[in-house]
Structure 1
């Protein structure tokens, strides 16, 4: 049967090319996502200051909710990545040092330092002198710091600042600038540091300046000669069995040193896995639709084979063999361009600052093998499913079945489709009753269920479309009448054309307009939330003492420091337990009402002091708390806190869903500095601010409001880029499907011409059919998208109307419509070039 399958493929080159192209593009796209996923999992960031540490011991940058006591055997819930650095108790150094094979344990802390004048170059970070051996640094001049007012500079920083050993220099960490004597200049062994400049204080002074309460960022471990780092890391892990402690070797050390780069790898894993899964789902739909249409066009061939004695098993083996050959060839060839596409995507991610420039693409064979296996399996399953009905037909009924399709859809398929519709309706009701991210998460499943339901019930949907449109179309003489008759009697063929278009429009609208709705709502919230006249920022953050100094400037009526962070709330539903990351801001005590307006409902932001908290109204409702209640949360590094709710507000999308006192998060954020200072002041104070704080950038409030959504815009653009690639693939599949459906009608067109139809009448008929396919697909696709977007918009903005710019919607629908019309018109014109007496003899 495999030989027969090869012969049938050779005889049906058109259908082969269409299905082959669909699988080829799918393999390319999914391979690219798989390579990025492998890069995120197995990739790493080269270490700089930790390059001489054989093992780095650090806190796990993820939070796992504790198991329920009643069910200790259940697996842990999914982890949540932590934005803030998780620090460790300095007392662990003794336990690490007792592990066999450990030569030296070096505690390390890092904190930003502001030089007396702004300088170009990498950020300046301060450390304790004992951590200099982790690079290692060697003294080029002078000696190590011995007093609290002494410091050592690395050579590149000293050269940029024009400082020599013996000079005095003013440095600012978080308090006012302090004068230090430069006692030495050091050089790193193994090359200059590319991403940072180093300052070294005495260990005691560094601990004070870091402000972490005696905790350390990490421990660098230097092994005894001859000890393998990986085996030493295993022994250290056994000696420290507590949850939340990890050991890192090789390039994984860099993820500890550069926390944002390490988190970017996690983001790369999530992004590639998400879009790879969507691409695979789209591929399954399109491949199934293409192969089903191909088999449906061969009903007469299948009928003849059954009539001459071919068994159902042989028929299924033949179609399965065709699908196997198609899937194998297309997936193997399609994997090859997937690797350069992955490299291009990684470059785009790096340029958008989503991934560290040091991340290198890992091009192992595993993604390609997985893609080949999954697509071959998908093709074979789709082929066997398409051939099942033809294989079950009795030989005496086969030719009759081919001539007239008496059954639209099987009972099992009908029940499955109705169940999917019911599940979609139930999920739609649930998502409409929720708010915030919970609503968006529930509604995202609606589009998948509805598209699957449309695909399963495709022939029934197409039949209804044909019947509803028949009264209108039959008024338009020959073209409309023939188009209506074809649509009603060939519902399966019509369904094969409608389904991929519904997928393109429904999925495209959801992917695009979720982004636009969220971005628009965030911009509006941010614009209304920040009422300050000016905003002060700095590349490495604003020292905490600056807000107090700004308040003393003449003409300044109010100043509020603001630091972006997050909190974690645990939730329980029955026996299930999970965690949700909640965006938050930490503000300086005072009167933030003059620089911030979050739309307070109860209480005031000025009440947020110490262990108090303000929550958005929706977050408070989700947690079931009211003003005056105690709230159990975890800070951004996972530390548990119990706070009192003193205020609720409406605008949660602009800045955050929670407001904390800045003193509460001290020692629990990666950078012990403020992100910005909001200032309410007269214009006369602008010159004083610029002179008094030359290291800070001063911008008006409107400019910062626009910049506050830059990261969200970048993320939306990246999402739309990947979604655009998937839509491009869907468009190719749509064109393939429509070209197949039209090209297979050569004999039908010839028969119509032989009985008197003109070439123009046939073209008008195909145009009417194309218009019916486009209009019905737009209506169904828009309905599918609306069922998803309306609950999401309600959850995010409180309004049922998503932000869908007409030009974007019109452009998406227009592109799909043009593709559909051209994919029908061009093959029809080509088919009509043949003389009818010649075309009527062409085999099906």
Structure 2
């Protein structure tokens, strides 16, 4: 039976080609993801280990009090200072203490475009030895910075900016643009920089001036003398640290912590990619099952003869499964090879879209090889299991009949009944989901969606008759006899039609659902901005803004009001909530604040107003006092002086900037809202940008630009999803080609007879094309319907975080999906239609 299986694979290799391609593509996706994950994980781990080489203990400063002038000074204050560093240096076993000031700085490239990735753009202090070299950052050219107007850059950033030694460099931290002179170019192994960020080095005094205060540091990196125990040294260092203001971590623990962090980040990306790979493989199951079902039907006589000469049912099952295993193994091996190229391509695509990864060789682990090959073989064998059981049930005498028996009525009744029950459960679950309003209930929605989709897949043969017949009315009227024949051929085997269409339906269900939710969310964000934002401009930077900029913008002629927003949070005994600190005199001019009770007029430093939703949820009223604990563990009593109508842009509560600022981790302004006296204008925007120092970091956006940014963000997410689901759609298209090609082989005699009675070659081609289009549109119609239904049901879950959300169907894009499905049908039929039209009429009539 094993030899028979091998001969069958070789004998039917042409018919198995499309099935092999479906398995190959799915395995390539899985293999590419695993190889990419291993490669990136290995590169980041090696970069981290190299970066921590020689680190025995790391002392990290905890967030401290900001400077006394909290409204203006953006600097952080720490208790990790020169005094502490000298005390640690005097400890037994300490060989060196490196004193680091850490911040972020972004260099402006050509056309003032910021270089690198903002949160990976490091800034720190160059610490020269007596020879002027810093072993942490080896010099490639020039020297280290020694004055406040000098900087050094890493090699990649210097090259990207087009700057050479002696050139002026424009850069920004959180305020106006700074102009420094490039005096050195260094190399670095820091994983953030090698992953696409930038490195800017200042002298120590300048770095402290920008980010801290004189004599203060963010981190002390301690090197141990030879033979010193790391853990013992760490304990000694902890004894001299200020309580609750600094922490000491051994180099071993620090490396383990970074490894865990990298592993966690890598795992999240890999799981996302593997989820989409799983969808692609699931789609492939339909193609595999369809192929083996058709092959078994075509080989019924062969199976009957095997049974007649003594083969048992179990042997027939094993033979079919052996064929599937051989097909899966060969396809998986080729797919794994393709996956190696896919991993390299995936990295290139992600880097082109802003992601960064350290350099490193492609890593192919034994686990990746075994997992990819195992998945391919197992999926293929499982998909062939039901067809193999069908083959085993063929009686020798029945199989000698050349007429294919229709499916048993009992089988169809059971299938339709099961499909109806599962679909009903799915619809009921999704209707229940539509009454929920917590994002935590998303798993219930996922279960409901899966049940609905599974039920519709099972019912697809039943649904195919009315829907395909309806399409047949159109095809017959437009294309005559070719259209009628295409409809009849599609209806001839509803199970085959349903299986082929279901593969396409799965991808379109997911694509439609995400498109509808994305479109509705985009419209909701635009509506939220229009209703809640009275300001004409929103100014922000991911690293925060210098508090001094607020007054500079307010002084620009034509500006009516400028309100800084400084966000933090606090907890009460039974809840946690956000707090937006701002200028209470101007906030009403830039944000819509409709008070239901009380107001912020005359509010003091510990007075707050809360949203109507929060007050209702907690039973709070104007005049109540809250025992608050801020995120920095400091406590205060806050008095509620007003309750305002919910505004997503304001959040849970609002108070004075002097209340929130001392409790921010970074004492910067998060956002600056600006109201113009006569509305936005290009001239005013230029003046505002000039007042901000023309920094490449800062974004100045009016309402139109905010809408454009929202749309771009949603479009980016959708495009990534479309790309990841593209493999599933490609496999579905392969399934259509496969079904049509094998159907043409089955109907060779029939096609010959059609040619004999006068149907031209063009008519044969048109018949096959229309059959393909009908199948594609059937799958697309079901997919779009299920996708819209599921997106409607989850709308209430989205509305919890986006109250203005309402279902809005993107009719244009849905119509585009239908047109694409029709085009896919036409393209999928090109080869089968050409093959059918080129059949020799007389040979076809004589075919068995």
TM-score (ref. length: structure 2): 0.72
Shift of 1:301: 4.2
Find the aligned partners of 2:549 and 2:104 in 1 and give their Cα distance. Answer: 15
Distance 1:343 1:189, change over 3 A: closer
Asked whether the 8 Å contact 1:635–1:668 carries over to 2, the reply is yes
Corresponding residue for residue 335 of structure 1 = 336
1:802 to 805, 808, 817: 808
Shift of 1:444: 4.6
Find the aligned partners of 1:143 and 1:471 in 2 and give their Cα distance. Answer: 80
Asked whether the 8 Å contact 1:586–1:661 carries over to 2, the reply is yes
Corresponding residue for residue 110 of structure 1 = 102
Asked whether the 8 Å contact 1:551–1:557 carries over to 2, the reply is yes
Shift of 1:453: 2.6
2:502 to 491, 499, 515: 499
Determine if the alignment matches structure 1 residue 531 to structure 2 residue 523: no
Determine if the alignment matches structure 1 residue 26 to structure 2 residue 26: yes
1:450 to 412, 434, 452: 452
Asked whether the 8 Å contact 1:420–1:449 carries over to 2, the reply is yes
Distance 1:402 1:450, change over 3 A: farther
Point out where structure 2 has 5 or more consecutive residues left out of the alignment: 63-76, 164-170
Determine if the alignment matches structure 1 residue 561 to structure 2 residue 552: no
Distance 1:95 1:316, change over 3 A: farther
How do 1:54-69 and structure 2 match up within 5 A? 54=55
How do 1:562-641 and structure 2 match up within 5 A? 562=565, 587=582, 589-597=584-592, 612=608
Asked whether the 8 Å contact 2:124–2:201 carries over to 1, the reply is yes
Asked whether the 8 Å contact 1:601–1:649 carries over to 2, the reply is yes
Find the aligned partners of 2:267 and 2:630 in 1 and give their Cα distance. Answer: 20
Corresponding residue for residue 225 of structure 1 = 226
1:833 to 811, 815, 838: 838
Find the aligned partners of 2:692 and 2:314 in 1 and give their Cα distance. Answer: 82
Asked whether the 8 Å contact 1:103–1:223 carries over to 2, the reply is yes
1:196 to 199, 207, 215: 199
Q: Please give the secondary structure, in 2, of the residue aligned with 1:559.
A: strand
Find the aligned partners of 1:635 and 1:35 in 2 and give their Cα distance. Answer: 44
Instruction: State the Cα deviation string for residues 261-299 of structure 1 (Å, max 9, x = none).
Output: 999757634543443343343344444444444445544
Corresponding residue for residue 694 of structure 1 = 693
Q: Please give the secondary structure, in 2, of the residue aligned with 1:594.
A: helix
Distance 1:121 1:638, change over 3 A: farther
Distance 1:5 1:110, change over 3 A: same
Shift of 1:539: 7.7
Distance 1:541 1:781, change over 3 A: same
Distance 1:343 1:826, change over 3 A: closer
Find the aligned partners of 1:303 and 1:103 in 2 and give their Cα distance. Answer: 84
Shift of 1:486: 4.7
Distance 1:592 1:481, change over 3 A: same
How do 1:195-594 and structure 2 match up within 5 A? 195-199=198-202, 209=212, 220-225=221-226, 268-269=269-270, 271-356=272-357, 362-399=363-400, 403-407=404-408, 409=411, 417-435=419-437, 437-438=439-440, 442-463=444-465, 465=467, 486-537=489-540, 540-551=543-554, 555-562=558-565, 587=582, 589-594=584-589
Asked whether the 8 Å contact 2:148–2:206 carries over to 1, the reply is no
Equivalenced residue count is 779
2:782 to 780, 789, 793: 780
Find the aligned partners of 1:190 and 1:483 in 2 and give their Cα distance. Answer: 66
How do 1:742-821 and structure 2 match up within 5 A? 742-750=744-752, 766=768, 769-770=771-772, 772-796=774-798, 801-806=807-812, 808-821=813-826
Determine if the alignment matches structure 1 residue 17 to structure 2 residue 22: no
Asked whether the 8 Å contact 1:128–1:203 carries over to 2, the reply is no
Find the aligned partners of 1:14 and 1:247 in 2 and give their Cα distance. Answer: 62
457-466 vs 24-33, which moves further:
457-466
310-319 vs 47-56, which moves further:
47-56
Instruction: State the Cα deviation string for residues 386-420 of structure 1 (Å, max 9, x = none).
Output: 21122134444445696212326477755653453
Shift of 1:543: 0.8
Distance 1:41 1:406, change over 3 A: same
Shift of 1:7: 1.4
Instruction: State the Cα deviation string for residues 231-284 of structure 1 (Å, max 9, x = none).
Output: 9999999xx9x9x99877699699699x9x999757634543443343343344
Instruction: State the Cα deviation string for residues 139-192 of structure 1 (Å, max 9, x = none).
Output: 9999999xxxx98975569x99x9xxxxxxxx99989999xxx9xx99979799
Q: Please give the secondary structure, in 2, of the residue aligned with 1:373.
A: helix
Corresponding residue for residue 738 of structure 1 = 740
Corresponding residue for residue 673 of structure 1 = 668
Q: Please give the secondary structure, in 2, of the residue aligned with 1:44.
A: helix
Distance 1:583 1:377, change over 3 A: farther
Asked whether the 8 Å contact 1:60–1:246 carries over to 2, the reply is no
Asked whether the 8 Å contact 2:485–2:767 carries over to 1, the reply is yes
Find the aligned partners of 2:574 and 2:289 in 1 and give their Cα distance. Answer: 40
Distance 1:482 1:554, change over 3 A: closer
TM-score (ref. length: structure 1): 0.72
Instruction: State the Cα deviation string for residues 59-104 of structure 1 (Å, max 9, x = none).
Output: 999xxxxxxxxxxxxxxxxxxxxxxxxx999799999999998766
777-786 vs 404-413, which moves further:
404-413
Find the aligned partners of 1:720 and 1:604 in 2 and give their Cα distance. Answer: 48
Instruction: State the Cα deviation string for residues 558-603 of structure 1 (Å, max 9, x = none).
Output: 212236789999999xxxxxx9xx9997655543232234888888
Corresponding residue for residue 68 of structure 1 = none
Shift of 1:316: 1.1
Corresponding residue for residue 706 of structure 2 = 705
Point out where structure 1 has 5 or more consecutive residues left out of the alignment: 62-86, 163-170, 573-578
Asked whether the 8 Å contact 1:627–1:648 carries over to 2, the reply is no
Shift of 1:3: 1.6
Shift of 1:373: 0.9
Shift of 1:353: 2.1
500-509 vs 826-835, which moves further:
826-835
Distance 1:814 1:605, change over 3 A: farther
Find the aligned partners of 1:649 and 1:209 in 2 and give their Cα distance. Answer: 40
Asked whether the 8 Å contact 2:552–2:692 carries over to 1, the reply is no
Find the aligned partners of 1:360 and 1:598 in 2 and give their Cα distance. Answer: 56
Shift of 1:380: 0.8
Shift of 1:534: 3.6
Q: Please give the secondary structure, in 2, of the residue aligned with 1:433.
A: coil
Distance 1:207 1:313, change over 3 A: same
Find the aligned partners of 1:88 and 1:269 in 2 and give their Cα distance. Answer: 38
Find the aligned partners of 1:222 and 1:815 in 2 and give their Cα distance. Answer: 63
Determine if the alignment matches structure 1 residue 720 to structure 2 residue 722: yes
How do 1:156-195 and structure 2 match up within 5 A? 195=198
Find the aligned partners of 2:568 and 2:731 in 1 and give their Cα distance. Answer: 39
